[in-house]
Structure 1
Amino acid sequence: MDWSKTKTIFIVTFLILNLFLTWQLVETNSANQISVITEATIQERLNQMNVTIEAELPEEELLGRHVISKKVPLTEEAAAGLAEQQSLRLTEGGEIISELLEPYPTTSEQFWTELQTFLTTYVYQGDEYRYGHFDPETGQMKLYQTFKDKTAYTFDEDPLVLWFDESQQIIGYEQSYYEFEELDGREREMLSSLKALEVLLNDQLIRANQTISSIEFGYYSFFSPQGGVQVFAPMWRVMVEDETYLVNAIEGSVQQIT
């Protein structure tokens, strides 16, 4: 073996490797700097327009996928571990219908704490559900399940509906349960919360002197289930004054829901 030639090859190889790693480092730093500059520019635009952001801007992973859910029929086994102060009935579709033997009281001062206690005590996997909407005319509160601790808004279906009486006591509920998983395929780059605001700025949906009261990341389904399966897209839900917009975190498309 010609050790001199071998040594030269090793030296050249290491030099090429070092150059490649240096180039990668420079590219990464440049990309990070561009991202920081871009986000600073978005913030500057908002400041110049006197737009107030009352909500804290969440930081989410920048890679993600669409999500699918499938309804899981609830059984007597699922109902067995729930609080006994209720009369439970299973439907043919696998839902639980509950009628409380005694109304569950709530107070305005401690409502959300009391609601969480009710969910974990009376409802199967109750800690997986999040508040969605309350209809004062019907006394019904609609809640949605979560995936990775983010709300998954189902299309035309209410996974959990609580019934309230005139004294704001819970008197029963109807529950469905879903299992979630990410779709196969490569992860896609997702918009940050600031980038979602930029989309709304560019579409002139955020105007001067307006207030952004909330911005939340979640999953939304806009189509009826096919074969019992629903597909959810990752979305930023942004409330600007009295208007609520959904910004697709992958595609950047916008839908107004109020």
Structure 2
Amino acid sequence: MDWNKTKTILIVVFSILNVFLYSLYLDRHNDAQSLKVMGETSIEESLKLDDISYGELPIFTDESYYVSADIAEFPEEKLKKFDDQSFTFEDEAHLISMLEVPYPLKNAKGEEQFSQFLATHVLNGKEYVLWNRDKEKKQAIFFQKVDDYPIFFNKNAMLTINWDEDENIISYEQSMFGEFINFNKKKDILLPIEAINALYSKDYLERGSTVIDISLGYSTHIQLTKTQVFAPTWHVRVKLKDDEIVDYFINATDGKVIEFTDELEEPEIDENVEDLEIENQGDF
């Protein structure tokens, strides 16, 4: 047998096979990309047909963690530095503060100074972000954050600031979670357009409505005695034809719409605990 000739033939055969397999891979990859583009176009076209519009959508990474944390208590030694307040407790995890000296709601320029108040008068105040202000009730509601992402409507992760007729902050109510850890492995999350489509496909979006904002946060996924697990959640703010503003929340991993029954209650969610395993993945 002419070994050199045989070796040359084998090299040629394997080279042809590699070219064939690579071309097959490219064909399948291009087909998949084409289907993806068609799917996205279909969503956009469907929304357009129903006169549902949206602006420039945010860019987010397509992976995120579930996170977990324990409900935190308020150690008295850490509250001692706030010597211009008197504290009472609904329970160990819910604090009520009365300011002995009212704090101006606005500065000399007429600007609200919530950030300054949180930094100087509230334990771990920088962990909260403003959700809503109610001028009639004279109060503002803040949500605790996981990094820069708010936890939506969890009664154990909220801060409510109250002011008087003279626009002076006079009291606040606070609850919070302790250290957050990554829970389970990274999860693929829906793209913003897919979150909008989740609402549209379930008939939540009225004809002629406009998506005016979409942002990422967290909502309660599993609630145990003191430990809770939070799932990545899209917050979609929609303006209806009559100018009414409506807020929607979508689980960013499975597309389920989350409905909150009350601002201070937990969401109605029916999930299986068995499909998650606690795994500390390091910093979020």
> Do Structure 1 and Structure 2 share a fold, with TM-score over 0.5?
yes
The AA in structure 2 aligned to 1:236 is W
- The residue that corresponds to 1:231 in the other structure is 229
Q: Distance in 2 between matches of 1:88 and 1:174?
A: 12
Alpha-carbon spacing, 1:8–1:120, altered in 2? closer, same or farther (3 Å): farther
Q: Which residue of 2 aligns with 1:118?
A: 117
Deviates more, 1:14-23 or 1:133-142: 14-23
Which structure's relative contact order is higher, taking Cα pairs within 8 Å and 6+ residues apart? 1
Aligned to 2:75: 75
Query: Could you list the per-position Cα deviations for residues 123-169 of structure 1 after superposition, in whole angstroms to 9, with x for gaps in the alignment?
Result: 12212101234455653332211113110125344532212112332
Report the more deviating stretch, 14-23 or 226-235.
14-23
For residue 53 of structure 1, report the CA deviation from its aligned partner.
2.1
% identical equivalent positions: 26
Residues 165 and 234 (structure 1 numbering): CA distance in 2 closer, same or farther, change over 3 Å?
Answer: same
Partner of 2:186: 187
**What amino acid maps onto 2:48 in structure 1?**
N
Work out whether 1:87 is the aligned partner of 2:90: no
**How far apart, CA to CA, are the structure 1 residues paired with 2:148 and 2:231?**
15
Whether the aligned pair in 1 keeps the contact of 2:144 and 2:157 (CA below 8 Å) is no
SS in 2 for 1:207: coil
Residue 195 of structure 1 deviates from its aligned partner by 0.3
May I ask how many residue pairs the two structures share in their alignment?
249
Q: Which residue of 2 aligns with 1:46?
A: 47
C-alpha displacement of 1:121: 1.8
SS at match of 2:92: coil
CA 1:110 to 1:33, structure 2 compared with 1: closer, same or farther past 3 Å? farther
Query: C-alpha offsets along residues 215-249 of structure 1, whole Å, 9 cap, x if unaligned?
Result: 221111266x4221122222112233243322211
CA 1:7–1:256: 2 relative to 1, 3 Å: same
User: Superposed, which structure 2 residues align to 1:117-156 within 5 Å?
Assistant: 117-136=116-135, 138-156=137-155
Tell me, yes or no, if the aligned pair for 1:76 and 1:90 is still in contact at 8 Å: no
Does residue 202 in structure 1 map to residue 205 in structure 2?
A: no
**Change in 2 beyond 3 A, CA 1:145/1:27:** farther
- CA separation of 1:238 and 1:17: change in aligned 2, threshold 3 A: same
Aligned partner of 1:59 in structure 2 is 59
Alpha-carbon deviations, 1:171-230, whole Å to 9, x = none?
Answer: 12232231322212x32221111001111222222232112233221111266x422112
Unaligned stretches of 5+ in structure 2? 262-284
Q: Scaled by the length of structure 2, what TM-score is found?
A: 0.70
| CA RMSD across the alignment | 3.5
Amino acid at match of 1:161: T
Match of 2:175 in 1: 176
What is the rounded CA distance, in whole Å, between the counterparts of 2:78 and 2:27 in structure 1? 55
TM-score by length of 1: 0.76
Q: Is 2:257 the counterpart of 1:254? A: yes
Gap runs ≥5 in structure 1: none
Greater CA deviation, 166-175 or 14-23? 14-23
Shift of 1:61: 2.1
Structure-2 change in CA distance of 1:202 and 1:6 (3 Å): same
Q: SS at 2:218's partner residue?
A: strand
